[in-house]
Amino acid sequence: MPKNPLLEAFLENELDTERNEGENPLCRPTSQEETVASKTSQSIKLIWRYGLLFATVCCIAVLCYPAARNFLTEENIGSTTSHHELKRVTHAPSATGDGIQVLPREVASYLHRTSFHFQPEKNWMNDPNGPMYYKGYYHFFYQYNPNGAVWGDIVWGHAVSTDLIHWLYLDIALVPDQWYDAYGVWSGSVTLREDGVPIIIYTGASNAGEQTQNVAYPGDPSDPLLRRWVKDQENPILRSPPGINIKDFRDPTTAWKDVDGNWLMTVGAKKQKTGLALLYKSVDLKHWELQENVLHSVESTGMWECVDFFPVAVQGHHGLETYTAAPTVKYVLKASLDDTRHDHYALGSYNVMSKTFHPDDPTRDTGIGLRYDYGKFYASKSFFDPAQQRRILWGWVNESDSEVADIAKGWSSVQAIPRTVFYDDKTKNNLIQVPVEEVKELRGARVSERDVKLVPGGLVQVKGASGGQLDIEVVFDYPNITKLSLDGGQMDDGDHFDCSQGGAAHRGVFGPFGLLVLADENFQERTAVFFYVSYSKEGKWRTRFCSDQTRSSLLPDVDTTVYGSFVEVLPSEDFLSLRVLVDRSIVESFVQGGRMVITSRVYPTMATDQAAHLYLFNNATTSINVRNIDAWQMHSVPMHAI
């Protein structure tokens, strides 16, 4: 893969940080006994090392962080205070003047800004837009508010990378400077023309609330960084068709080729409560004609945002070009449901003659079946990467704290780690999603354990795996359900378990068991990601996976949902596997090889840096065996503007 000399130079010097190598003395847990003298000497060391600017920020943090934490701990809540009580106590004195307690900006940014996920330098970000590979660079555009940490004034931010992990921020690519996008340059896609030139088609929102589709071209296609974009003078090229409200017409997809050589694309819309993907045809990617039929629609799913439509190979893990159409491929149709803010997809076939999508299983159609992610993940968009012959999926992960907290910290949202997606040729009814291979380049020190027996109620620390940035792979033996089901009497009625009822604290026969990540030594904060195997009324064993945020943070006003869903485990699979990426305020769990994914946002105040520990736990009444666990400390990635 071509290398970017600028990035290389940055990485040589800055790939690692103190966060990974050891405890950051300015921000480690502070006991009340800690002396002012020792804090001062630690500060001096950092001043030497990072220079005046960094030291200034950290000194603000060191002054404010213990104060903020003391407020949340000894003085106000005590170790036995429940989360509910904590909320009550911390609402009393207000840092913001409106009853909401937030951490000071420097503290929150230090603790919760991710270290290897894509984030702009500051302010609000939402949907990924127009990802592509062009002349040796991955390009990433994103919905961005240059003026603040909440949604509004939306432009297309732009960054490039040679490995999808290390990014250079470029100037804003598209700004609202026309009547048709004065209210915002909204989401859209890139299509590579036959001559290889990328064309952006995006939604413009006018001040009157009208949504239209618009085209922009590279100002200089020979520039691999594509720094300048020019809007077509004939914009808008599409206005909402009859029967579609002007406010329900947005987010054009990447175009693909019809059998007659013309281009096709879809635009998301709704009619009453039916979500739909309108179909358009064009010879030149600029003049579009509405087709009589829609690509697909599903009743009661509401507005379809950010539709994505792409083929997947039924054998092998390689990706396919968006316009590949062959009888042997399957198609994925994804819609982001505005009503629920979840990304749903269906696997099916594409009839090239009728130009319609047909789900393999109508009970798992777009919007009513599978989700890419059972946590926080929205407005996703995929692209074909010709350099590595794979399809890559980007998704927006919003904050789970309050808007007030976002304004206080000065930024909001991250992008999920880009995922390679392919067809699951074992279950044949879902996609597999795994972090792109390049993430492994960030792996540092590793700890490994084999054959760890977790007795009922057992808790085992994975020593040497403390830190706020980890990549963890763990494999459990599938519980020995045969013996217990034969013994009878001990079976758990799985119909009574739901991830949200009790979370990791609920005790069953074969669950919960899994990991506690970002856990402080007193377990005042911890995020449990776990399996729960149970027996259903239909006489089937079923496996759930859950991500429990109820005790992730001592902060008030953060989301405490327990996310969860079922994961298919085949009869030939006598194991349960889990890979978890932990990056300070994001926990991404890839279950059973990527068959199911849950992303959570968490805001630890105690369980940070070297005070963030990793544990194996088993809260089931049966022993569980851990076949192996490997955990790597993850290096930080500096992001730079040029």
Catalytic positions, please? Answer: 127
Query: Smallest gap, in angstroms, from Cβ of residue 203 to ligand DQQ?
Result: 5
Nearer Cβ to ligand DQQ (128/604): 128
Of 128 and 319, nearer to ligand DQQ (C-beta) is: 128
Candidates 417, 465, 353; CA nearest to 114 is: 417
Residues 6+ apart with CB under 8 A from 459: 516, 615, 616, 617, 618
**Complex with ligand DQQ: residue 124 or 617, whichever CB lies closer:** 124
- Min dist CB 499 to ligand DQQ, Å, is 25
282 beta partners: 263, 288
**Among positions 90, 101, 143, 322, the unique one binding ligand DQQ when judged by CB under 6 A:** 143
CA-nearest of 158, 156, 161 to 116 is 161
Single out the residue of 172, 162, 232 nearest to residue 204, CA to CA: 232
C-beta of 153: minimal distance to ligand DQQ in Å? 10
Binding residue for ligand DQQ, selected from 106, 163, 248, 251, defined by CB under 6 A: 251
Question: Measured from the CB of residue 251, what is the shortest distance to ligand DQQ in angstroms?
Answer: 5
The answer to whether residue 126 forms part of the interface with ligand DQQ (CB under 6 A) is: yes
Give the strand pairing for 198-205 and 184-192. Answer: antiparallel
**Interface residue with ligand DQQ, options 248, 258, 305, 424 (CB under 6 A):** 305
Q: Which is nearer to ligand DQQ, 377 or 422 (CB)?
A: 377
Shorter beta-carbon distance to ligand DQQ: residue 183 or 374? 183
Q: What is the nearest approach in angstroms of ligand DQQ to the Cβ of residue 143?
A: 4
User: Is residue 454 a contact residue for ligand DQQ (CB under 6 A)?
Assistant: no
> Interface with ligand DQQ includes 154 (CB under 6 A)?
yes
Q: With CB under 6 A, what is the number of residues at the site for ligand DQQ?
A: 12
Please tell me whether residue 462 adopts helix, strand or coil conformation. coil
Site string for ligand DQQ, 198-217 (x = CB under 6 A): -----x--------------
Nearer to ligand DQQ, 186 or 350 (CB): 186
Alpha carbon of residue 568 to chain centroid = 22
Alpha-carbon span 22 to 581, nearest angstrom: 19
CB of 127 to ligand DQQ, least distance (A): 5
**Binders in 181-200 for ligand DQQ, by CB under 6 A:** 186-187
Q: Which residues contact 94 (CB under 8 A, 6 or more apart)?
A: 100, 101
Please, is 32 exposed, middle or buried when counting C-beta atoms within 10 Å of its C-beta (0-12, 13-18, 19+)?
A: exposed
Minimum CB distance to ligand DQQ smaller for 187 or for 297: 187
Q: Who contacts 306 (Cβ-Cβ below 8 Å, separation ≥6)?
A: 127, 187, 251, 268, 334, 335, 336, 343, 379, 380, 381
- Amino acid sitting at position 387: A
Which tokens belong to 175? 């700004």
Cα–Cα distance measured from residue 435 to residue 166, given in angstroms and rounded to the nearest whole number: 15
Could you give the CA distance from residue 519 to residue 530 in angstroms, rounded to a whole number? 14
Minimum gap (Å) between residue 572 Cβ and ligand DQQ: 39
Name the closest residue to ligand DQQ (Cβ): 186
- Scan residues 367-396 and list those touching ligand DQQ (CB under 6 A): 379
Give the separation between CA 517 and CA 611, rounded to whole angstroms.
11
Q: Which residues bind ligand DQQ (CB under 6 A)?
A: 126-127, 143, 154, 186-187, 203, 250-251, 305-306, 379
